Amino acid sequence: MRSLYLTPLRIIAVAVFTVIGAASAMAQDPRIQTSQLDALTARASQTVDVNIDERVMRMTAGFLSGKDEDERKVKELINGLKGIYVRSFEFEKEDQYSQADLESIRAQLRNPAWNKIVNISSKKDGSLEVYLMSSESKISGLAVLATDAKEITVVNIVGPVDLEKLSALEGHFGVPDLGIEVKSGNKPENKPRSRKNEE
């Protein structure tokens, strides 16, 4: 009789651990959800929305030449990647967005699985935050949040990112010049960000 009484408790315990395990697995997902930023589209003067999943990336890599040095470097870099996702919003005036609009992104990056490796803040040039997700000493994802008074850019790369070759992605697949420069030893440094709207 006692064993029969404990059976429902065991079932509940298994269910609870299953849910916790599933939640933990989801928490380790290097893909950043950016749909909450959709509301900014109506306010922005220009938007960029790039969604390249693993299938499209493999197909794109097939078009890159192995003879052209730049294309060869990009091809090597995207080898093994599972996705590149970019959301960018440009505004004609300042104060067209608030920090509250970015909270959905930052909330995901506060997950312990993400590690902030670059945090640059300037009243003149805006801010740059770079996050890495890694497991067993292997990088599984990268997220970049770059903002200034008139622009927001979110870059999310899913898969093993080679930091020393990361700058080769700038200018390709919708990834803008983020001002990230990685020296030997995988130590990210900042370089002046090119502002295409500078006068």
**98-116 residue pLDDT tens:** 999 999 999 999 999 999 9
Domains held by the chain: number: 2
Q: Does residue 195 fall inside a structural domain?
A: no
Please indicate whether residue 18 or residue 157 has the higher confidence score (pLDDT): 157
Indicate if 126 and 175 belong to the same structural domain: yes
Indicate if 11 and 66 belong to the same structural domain: no
Indicate if 65 and 159 belong to the same structural domain: yes
Q: Does residue 199 fall inside a structural domain?
A: no
Q: Does residue 196 fall inside a structural domain?
A: no
In the chain, pLDDT over 70 holds for what percent of residues? Answer: 71
Over residues 45-71, mean pLDDT:
84
Indicate if 95 and 43 belong to the same structural domain: yes
**Residue 96 Cα to chain centre, angstroms:** 23
Q: How many residues does the chain have?
A: 199
Q: Does residue 197 fall inside a structural domain?
A: no
Indicate if 165 and 106 belong to the same structural domain: yes
Say if residue 119's pLDDT is above 80. Answer: yes
pLDDT per residue over 88-97, tens digit each? 999 999 989 9
pLDDT per residue over 41-50, tens digit each? 999 999 999 9
Indicate if 93 and 139 belong to the same structural domain: yes
Q: Does residue 141 fall inside a structural domain?
A: yes
pLDDT of residue 175: 73
Say if residue 27's pLDDT is above 60. Answer: no
Domain range for 2: 1-30
Indicate if 92 and 160 belong to the same structural domain: yes
Say if residue 191's pLDDT is above 80. Answer: no
In contact, 143 and 153? CB cutoff 8 Å: no
Comparing C-alpha atoms, which of 113, 151, 89, 149 is closest to residue 32? 113
Q: Does residue 121 fall inside a structural domain?
A: yes
Indicate if 97 and 186 belong to the same structural domain: yes
Q: Does residue 174 fall inside a structural domain?
A: yes
Indicate if 64 and 107 belong to the same structural domain: yes
Comparing C-alpha atoms, which of 73, 77, 75 is closest to residue 59? 75
Indicate if 46 and 135 belong to the same structural domain: yes
Q: Does residue 198 fall inside a structural domain?
A: no
Indicate if 11 and 86 belong to the same structural domain: no
pLDDT band for position 80 (cuts 50, 70, 90): confident
Indicate if 87 and 4 belong to the same structural domain: no
In contact, 175 and 153? CB cutoff 8 Å: no
Per DSSP, the three-state class of 18 is: helix
Over residues 153-174, mean pLDDT:
79
Over residues 135-141, mean pLDDT:
82
pLDDT of residue 1: 45
pLDDT of residue 125: 82
Comparing C-alpha atoms, which of 64, 32, 21 is closest to residue 131? 32
Say if residue 177's pLDDT is above 90. Answer: no
